[in-house]
Amino acid sequence: MSPVSIFCPGGSESQTGTAVKKRYSEISIEKCGENIKAVADHFELGGQGPYVVPIWNSHQGEVKAAEYVWDYIQAARIKVIDIWPERIDFWFIRRTGSSSSYRKIGSVSVAGTQCSAFLVRQNAELISCALTTVAHDQYRNGALWDGVLVAPGQGEHEAGYEVAEKNTANPNNFTSFIKFIPVKEFRLDALTVKSWVTGVTMPSFSTSLGEMEQSFFEELLSPITDLIDIPKLIFVLKRTARVGLLFEGAQLHATDLLDVEEEAAGDISIYENAGVMENLYTNELQDLFTREFPDLQNEDFILHRGVSSCLFACPPLGLYTHGYEIETVEPVVRFYISKLFQCWDDGAKCTKAQTDFFQRHKDAWEERGSSFIQFKIIDPTSN
């Protein structure tokens, strides 16, 4: 039986296609339109998938063109079957021997934040395109630009063109990709499940947690007797007057987290069984950071500050939370970490390394609560 194809925007030569080839080297890749929205169009026309799209970038934050993924999760129309991060590099391709000075470079729109320092060095304006493949085609067809920023390998051996520079992305540039299929195509193999995916919506966060939010997270974490069972908050997605939360880990049930009155009020909605994965996304992040971005792994508390995004990390606990506004996501992360200190203090099982971590900060936590946490700020755009 031939392997199932994976559909992605732009096909195998796009940034998404490049990430899919690394992840699923034995599976063929099918082009699904010339932009990320085309994947939704294909899905709506009854496509079976599976589909892969980018959902978050370390510099740009949530990929706006892929916001429909969260809509599909809320509507229980898809199952998430993989989420993984991939380092994103851009190569600067230009016509061989070109010394043009149009001060314009074509690429996918997110290259404006991911390659901002390079664009400044080139004194060039980014001409935004739907995908790197689209930009490349326009340049081939005579666009009056200095060149294009494309996926590694794209156009490398093409006659009349040269790779002028490979190191164009800002530091710590990675994108998270999500693989999903229509619910009707999903088949559960319990033996391969390493993590359940759960979605939650609630009113937008403020600069401090309200009573409702605290109550929810208390219920979420209070039953923990072994830190291996932590439901990990991996994404905080901003919507009008609400936020979307995506968790990985143990299977979560609304009846365990909300009482009858809370369910009736409808302020918090829980989307159970939004997906299952064979790999923990947070483990994938740890592996990527250890290999590629050690600055995001070598402290107890880290805040990576993108152009319009944030990533809070506590590597000893395996916690990595992607968000938008620092001031609204930080209180949730602080509460989360402090609650895990309480779980440990109450006797929850953990690893030797985690015990050392808790012991290292125990006195400060007991004295000041979550305010003791000092995040090391990493800003890749400040260089």
Write out pLDDT tens, residues 120-135. 999 999 999 999 999 9
Question: In the CATH scheme, what is the homologous superfamily, with its name and number, of domain 91-165?
Answer: Periplasmic binding protein-like II (3.40.190.10)
Whether the Cβ atoms of residue 324 and residue 309 lie closer than 8 Å to each other? yes
Q: Where in the chain are the domains?
A: 6-87, 91-165, 190-378
What pLDDT does residue 194 have? 87
The predicted model gives 305-327 an average pLDDT of: 94
Q: Per-residue pLDDT for 380 more than 90?
A: no
d(C-alpha 374, C-alpha 179), whole Å: 35
CA distance to 108, 146, 180, 204, 284, per residue, from 121 (Å): 19, 13, 39, 38, 33
Q: Per-residue pLDDT for 164 more than 60?
A: yes
Q: Per-residue pLDDT for 87 more than 80?
A: yes
d(C-alpha 288, C-alpha 194), whole Å: 19
The predicted model gives 336-356 an average pLDDT of: 96
Q: Is the peptide bond before 315 cis (omega within 30 degrees of 0)?
A: no
- Provide the pLDDT confidence category of residue 1 given band limits of 50, 70 and 90: very low
The predicted model gives 229-245 an average pLDDT of: 93
What pLDDT does residue 235 have? 97
The predicted model gives 315-319 an average pLDDT of: 96
Closest among 362, 72, 10, 92 to 237, alpha carbons compared: 72
The predicted model gives 13-39 an average pLDDT of: 93
In the CATH scheme, what architecture does the domain 6-87 have?
A: 3-Layer(aba) Sandwich (3.40)
Q: Per-residue pLDDT for 175 more than 70?
A: yes
Per-residue pLDDT tens over the stretch 29-80: 999 998 999 999 999 999 999 999 999 999 989 999 999 999 999 999 999 9
d(C-alpha 77, C-alpha 69), whole Å: 10
What pLDDT does residue 195 have? 92
Whether the Cβ atoms of residue 285 and residue 87 lie closer than 8 Å to each other? no
What pLDDT does residue 383 have? 53
What pLDDT does residue 196 have? 95
Cα 149 versus chain centre, distance: 22
The predicted model gives 330-356 an average pLDDT of: 96
Q: Do the domains 6-87 and 91-165 sit in the same CATH topology, yes or no?
A: yes
Q: Per-residue pLDDT for 3 more than 70?
A: no
What pLDDT does residue 210 have? 87
192 CB-contact burial (10 Å; exposed 0-12 / middle 13-18 / buried 19+): exposed
The whole model's pTM is what?
A: 0.92
